Homo-oligomer: A and B are copies of this chain.
Amino acid sequence: MEKVRDIVREGKRVAKEDPRRVVHSFKVGLVLSLVSSFYYYQPLYDSFGVNAMWAVMTVVVVFEFSVGATLGKGLNRVGATLFAGALGIGAHHLASLSGPTGEPILLAVFVFIQAALSTFVRFFPRVKARYDYSLLIFILTFALISVSGFREEQVLVLTHKRISTVIMGGLSCVLISIFVCPVWAGQDLHSLLASNVEKLSFFLLDFGDKYCETVKDGDTKEVDKRKNDFDNYKSVLNSKSNEESLANFAKWEPGHGQFRFRHPWKQYLSIGGLIRQCAYRIDTLNSYLNADIQVSINIRKKLEEPLRRMSLESGKALKEMSVSLTKMIKPSSSDLHVHNAQSACKSLTSLLHSGILKDVEPQELISILTATSLLIDIINLTEKILESLHELASAARFKDEIEPPIFAKKPNSRSIVCGWATKGQDDHVVTIVKDDCYNDNKSEKDNRSNQVLIHEKHEDCLHEKHEDDDAHVHSSCDSCGHTSLRVIVECR
């Protein structure tokens, strides 16, 4: 009884995790009942007979969770059945020429050669990735047609019936999977990438606080809680195989929603690789949170400001990237956050130059400098991910919309770059950036930090001006091919 309850609980969890699974189960049941009507409905049964079972078999084997997988398997199955059917008939004809004694021997030889060769080709990595199922069906159909052809005289009729039932089964799977609550592998890959970026951003947004906060040595509960909070990013470490199979499925899918037919899925894999590299660094960084040798609070306090800003800004950059991926708009404010993170790196380096860590114990020095170095590494990787995302955005024609960066929503949070963006005339964009990077607890200086960014478009070329109350002006011109707004802000 307890076991049944466990199973029901597990079922609820699985359904809640992705409700599309329930819908998919219903879809499979529906198509299978539909295809079974081949048996019930007399006219259909009269024309296909027992061959109707091939339709049932095709549905069971071909109907996968996503459209791409179903379409890939369906096309593989139909193509392989056609090709193997033709070859099987040829083999049967050739064997029949050699007389009643030679026929079975020759057929056995054909089956052997075909099966051995196809099985070997299945080991080719490129074939395995896309046409593995094709070859399986090829071996199967060839063996069945050429051998059963040995018995039945009407090989052509048999082949014709078998192929048409397979096509009917495959077609009903494909149609139902496309038109009834479709699950697109491409969309899933896209969402997976966005959620992976978001997971990393969560770690980084919290890391500064966690690293610099006070933790009592004996407080094991606190340590346990920390560990759990941060374990979220760990699923990113092993996402490669999942991404690759989704990309393979996505290649089979027709255009849907914002994804055109030849959407640059390859670029997703390269961004995924960079994200994983960043996750490896984060995994290493995480081990310093739970290390045996804890850096004393005094020393952490010395580097707190830049360390916090480095992790916070890179976290924000990643968060914005995740949002821009989700909404399929060009990542605009991420550049700003990456730049902020880099300027925090510079201020950290100058702090170190001032000899702030002169009297620190070597072991603590190693620990804190490694955390620093990993953060620098993560910021560099964030920049690379951003570049890769810019490439994706232009290849996949992401929208150019300028929206309020998400961090504008909490104007009172600490150390946050707030921005409001309005789209003016066609060739004129004004962005006001209120930068309170150095204004924590210095509210009297709030006015000074209001900055105005003016973007002007002249003859396909984007000029960028940057003014603040000190009348400091920045101007830069992006190359004409590159239309993303690169906002350059210096925190002085």
Is A60 a contact partner of B143 (Cβ separation < 8 A)?
yes
Is B33 a contact partner of A150 (Cβ separation < 8 A)?
no
Is B363 a contact partner of A349 (Cβ separation < 8 A)?
yes
Is A136 a contact partner of B281 (Cβ separation < 8 A)?
no
Is B369 a contact partner of A376 (Cβ separation < 8 A)?
no
Complex: A61 Cα to B362 Cα, angstroms = 62
In the bound complex, residues from chain B placing their C-beta under 8 Å from that of A369 are: 365-366, 369-370, 373
A489 at the binding interface (Cβ < 8 Å): no
Tell me, rounded to whole Å, the shortest Cβ–Cβ distance linking A57 to chain B.
6
In the bound complex, residues from chain B placing their C-beta under 8 Å from that of A144 are: 53, 56-57
A115 at the binding interface (Cβ < 8 Å): yes
Stretch at the interface among A233-241, A396-404, A408-416, A419-427: A233-241
Is A362 a contact partner of B353 (Cβ separation < 8 A)?
yes
In the bound complex, residues from chain B placing their C-beta under 8 Å from that of A377 are: 284, 287
A25 at the binding interface (Cβ < 8 Å): yes
Stretch at the interface among A34-42, A172-180, A219-227, A474-482: A34-42
Q: Kindly identify, within residues 333 to 372 of chain A, every residue whose CB is under 8 Å from any CB belonging to chain B.
A: 349, 352-353, 362-363, 365-367, 369-370, 372
CB closest residue in chain B, given A18: B123
Is A108 a contact partner of B40 (Cβ separation < 8 A)?
yes
Tell me, rounded to whole Å, the shortest Cβ–Cβ distance linking A53 to chain B.
6
In the bound complex, residues from chain B placing their C-beta under 8 Å from that of A143 are: 32, 36, 56, 60
Is A373 a contact partner of B362 (Cβ separation < 8 A)?
no
Is A148 a contact partner of B53 (Cβ separation < 8 A)?
yes
In the bound complex, residues from chain B placing their C-beta under 8 Å from that of A151 are: 39, 45
A14 at the binding interface (Cβ < 8 Å): yes
Complex: A2 Cα to B119 Cα, angstroms = 23
A111 at the binding interface (Cβ < 8 Å): yes
Chain A: residues with Cβ within 8 Å of the partner, total of 78
A275 at the binding interface (Cβ < 8 Å): no
A445 at the binding interface (Cβ < 8 Å): no
A182 at the binding interface (Cβ < 8 Å): no
Complex: A140 Cα to B28 Cα, angstroms = 12
How many chain copies does the complex carry? Answer: 2
Complex: A121 Cα to B108 Cα, angstroms = 40
In the bound complex, residues from chain B placing their C-beta under 8 Å from that of A140 are: 56-57, 60-61
Tell me, rounded to whole Å, the shortest Cβ–Cβ distance linking A120 to chain B.
4
A210 at the binding interface (Cβ < 8 Å): no
CB closest residue in chain B, given A108: B33
A90 at the binding interface (Cβ < 8 Å): no
In the bound complex, residues from chain B placing their C-beta under 8 Å from that of A36 are: 107-108, 111, 143, 147
A491 at the binding interface (Cβ < 8 Å): no
The proximity string for A residues 101-124 relative to B, scoring 1 for CB distances below 8 Å and 0 otherwise, is 000100111011111110111011
Is B119 a contact partner of A150 (Cβ separation < 8 A)?
no
CB closest residue in chain B, given A10: B124
Q: Kindly identify, within residues 363 to 392 of chain A, every residue whose CB is under 8 Å from any CB belonging to chain B.
A: 363, 365-367, 369-370, 372-374, 376-377
Is A148 a contact partner of B39 (Cβ separation < 8 A)?
yes
Tell me, rounded to whole Å, the shortest Cβ–Cβ distance linking A399 to chain B.
33
Tell me, rounded to whole Å, the shortest Cβ–Cβ distance linking A371 to chain B.
9
In the bound complex, residues from chain B placing their C-beta under 8 Å from that of A113 are: 29
A26 at the binding interface (Cβ < 8 Å): yes
Complex: A140 Cα to B147 Cα, angstroms = 23
Is B150 a contact partner of A39 (Cβ separation < 8 A)?
yes
Is A56 a contact partner of B349 (Cβ separation < 8 A)?
no
In the bound complex, residues from chain B placing their C-beta under 8 Å from that of A284 are: 280-281, 284, 374, 377
The proximity string for A residues 74-113 relative to B, scoring 1 for CB distances below 8 Å and 0 otherwise, is 0000000000000000000000000000001001110111
Chain A to chain B: the 8 pairs with minimum beta-carbon distance, closest first? A29-B116, A352-B362, A370-B373, A25-B120, A29-B112, A280-B280, A40-B104, A25-B119
